[in-house]
Amino acid sequence: MPSGSPEYQPSQAGLMWDTIARLGLLLRLERKIFALNASYALAIGLFSLIIPLTVQEMVNTFAYAIQPIMILTLVGIMAITLIFVGGLKVLQSRTVDILAQRLYTRISVALTKQLPRFKDETFATHYVNYFNEAEFMPRAFAVMLVDLINVTVGGIVGMTLLVMYHPYFLVYNSLLLAGFVTAIILLGRGGLRLTMKVSDLHYETLNWLQNIADNLLPFKSTASTPLLLKKTDALAHSYVAARKTRSDILHRQYKGSVVWQALGHSSLIGMAGWLLSTGQITLGQFVAAEVVVSTLLLNFDTVARRIYAMFFVFTSLANLSFLFSLPKDHEGTKIAIPLPDPTIHGIRLTCKDLSFAYPDSGPVFQHLDMEISPGEKIAIFSNSSTGKTTLAMVLAGLYTPTSGVIRYNGVDVRDLDMESLNACRGLILDSRLSLFDGTLEENITLGRPAISYSDVLWALRFVEMEEEVDALPLGLQTPIKARGKAFTSSQVLRILVARAIVARPQILILDGTLHSMQQSLRETLLRRLCSKEEPWSVIFVSNDPTLKTHVDRRLMLD
């Protein structure tokens, strides 16, 4: 089960119940496919009886000088039936693959909807790695589903046939099943826990490799290889040790199953032989019973060898449950922000006794009181880079304050619908200058349908990028890869400013003062952002004293 990180540590018991609940949800959502698979398995189990029944009939009639035509007839009927059974198995395999596709789609769509709602202060980017389970889990789930359904249905049909031969087989069936289940459960103790540990160690190794990839320059510019290998070796050693322990459990489980299968088969021969010798069953029934039990034990052997699939399913569901259970933003009560008087620009923002502290740490700021008039441009100075970024996130409604209240046009930000809030607010963080893979136009509009082509051109002119975009071979359709590394830091920052202003928001919140560009260009953008002609309120949270020439008012955070 995911151990989490310092950012977020879930309740282990709660996560397990959440995992079980999500398994139940999957079963309900895909009940039609499950029912279809069960119907295929039932048909396969019933028609597969043609083998023991044919053998029984042939053995019983051999003593009566069976005619060749009768043999050909029985074999022909069996061949046709088995071809039909094979067709059902192909259809069952196809439905299982469709199930895997549907599960992958459900998980990817659900995660896409949830990601923007996760609380920024408790979310770490490496948590997204758990999406890998969307590929692993459906395959393991499909294996488990087919095996369990086929074994269950085939077992019920086969055991029912045995009981029809003689009531003593009811006792045999019960002992065979109880012994197999007991061997699997008792000898498999700890397997699920070890599988979860192996998964956690795998993701720890993956996170460490991503850390290396994110810090290539310092590692390349120093003699860091011994450190990198030391940490990787420690992680790999822990992973291999946990996997070996799990492998020992699986092998122990399988050995117990093999022993019980041998005992079960031997017991069947002994019991059926005794019943045959006492005239309670026929020779044909004896041979048919052996065929049925051989098939049952073969199915049990398949389940025993693939018990790892069940461990994988629960581990994957636990990882996905952890991901989907991360704290989310408050949804609000769907209140749209009341617009200010048409003669007044911007949003009125008020803060009363505002404080914020990260979990298990001291306060970042305390008892902040301020009011920003519609259309006002102000600068809040902070000597702490953490403090200014945190304040920007709190004012934007993305972090929940520890105490106090923020109001947009008199409405508590906690009561606002997030979509309504996003529509009226633009946010720029100097500390997070990256783009996503897509086109340049998509990085500016973010797919917002209300933004027109003329809006995009206006935003590009505002940030002095129109000519640069025109010079690109594909213009606005230029693909952006690797978080925009092909663009300069100045271009990336201006694209982000264009994104923030393209919808003409009523309030802009900036963490920093656009330092990643030439001084003259920076002054031009600051002058435009703070122009009285623009319809927005502006809040700079910065440690740059030169802002005082552009803003209407200055406040000190510290």
296/156 Cα distance (integer angstroms): 10
261/100 Cα distance (integer angstroms): 32
The distance in angstroms from the start CA to the end CA of the chain is 42
Q: Report in angstroms the alpha-carbon separations of 530 from 371, 465, 539, 551.
A: 18, 19, 10, 7
Closest CA to 42 of 78, 92, 97: 92
Closest CA to 558 of 403, 350, 363, 359: 363
> What is the pLDDT, as a whole number, of residue 342?
46
Q: In sequence order, which residues have a C-beta less than 8 Å from that of residue 535 and are 6 or more positions away?
A: 345, 346, 375, 504, 506
Q: Please, is 504 exposed, middle or buried when counting C-beta atoms within 10 Å of its C-beta (0-12, 13-18, 19+)?
A: middle
Task: Tell me the average confidence (pLDDT) per consecutive run of 10 residues in the chain, 558 residues long.
Answer: 49 59 78 82 77 70 63 79 85 84 89 86 84 83 75 81 88 86 82 88 92 82 85 94 92 87 87 88 83 83 81 86 82 57 71 88 88 91 81 89 91 83 87 84 90 94 93 91 79 92 92 82 92 89 86 85
Length of the chain: 558
Secondary structure (DSSP) of 37-60 = HHHHHHHHHHHTTHHHHHHHHHHH
What sign results for the dihedral spanned by CA atoms 554, 534, 436, 465? negative
Q: Residue 427's CB: how many other CB atoms inside 10 A?
A: 22
Q: Report in angstroms the alpha-carbon separations of 299 from 304, 370, 519.
A: 9, 72, 74
Closest CA to 484 of 446, 518, 437: 437
Closest CA to 289 of 350, 280, 191: 280
Half-sphere exposure of 43 (CA within 13 A, CB side): 18
> What is the pLDDT, as a whole number, of residue 85?
82
295/299 Cα distance (integer angstroms): 6
Q: Which fold has domain 12-324?
A: ABC transporter transmembrane region fold (1.20.1560)
- The dihedral region occupied by 332, where left means phi > 0, alpha psi between -120 and 50, and beta the remainder, is left
Q: Report in angstroms the alpha-carbon separations of 144 from 151, 189, 299, 309, 547.
A: 10, 18, 12, 6, 63
One-letter amino acid for residue 406 of the chain: I
Contact, 194 vs 253, CB < 8 A?
no
Q: In sequence order, which residues have a C-beta less than 8 Å from that of residue 48 and are 6 or more positions away?
A: 85, 154, 157, 295
Written in H, E and C, the secondary structure of 88-120 is HHHHHHHHHHHHHHHHHHHHHHHHHHHHHHECC
Q: Which residue has the tokens 């018990």?
A: 307
Closest CA to 377 of 495, 165, 271, 528: 528
Q: Which residue has the tokens 């389940």?
A: 303
297/156 Cα distance (integer angstroms): 13
434/425 Cα distance (integer angstroms): 19
Q: What are the residue boundaries of the structural domains of the chain, listed by start?
A: 12-324, 349-556
Contact, 433 vs 492, CB < 8 A?
yes
> What is the pLDDT, as a whole number, of residue 6?
42
Structure tokens at 321: 């449950």
> What is the pLDDT, as a whole number, of residue 350?
93
**CATH architecture, domain 349-556:** 3-Layer(aba) Sandwich (3.40)
φ, ψ at 307 (rounded to 5°): -65, -25
Structure tokens at 130: 């758990």
| Helix or strand run (H / E) with residue 165 | helix 133-165
491/516 Cα distance (integer angstroms): 9
Structure tokens at 409: 């046009």
DSSP state of 336: P
Q: In sequence order, which residues have a C-beta less than 8 Å from that of residue 391 and are 6 or more positions away?
A: 356, 364, 365, 368, 380, 382, 541, 557
Q: Residue 337's CB: how many other CB atoms inside 10 A?
A: 20
Q: In sequence order, which residues have a C-beta less than 8 Å from that of residue 202 and are 6 or more positions away?
A: 239
Closest CA to 280 of 416, 169, 157, 420: 169
Helices within 283-351 (DSSP H only): 283-305, 307-324
388/91 Cα distance (integer angstroms): 60
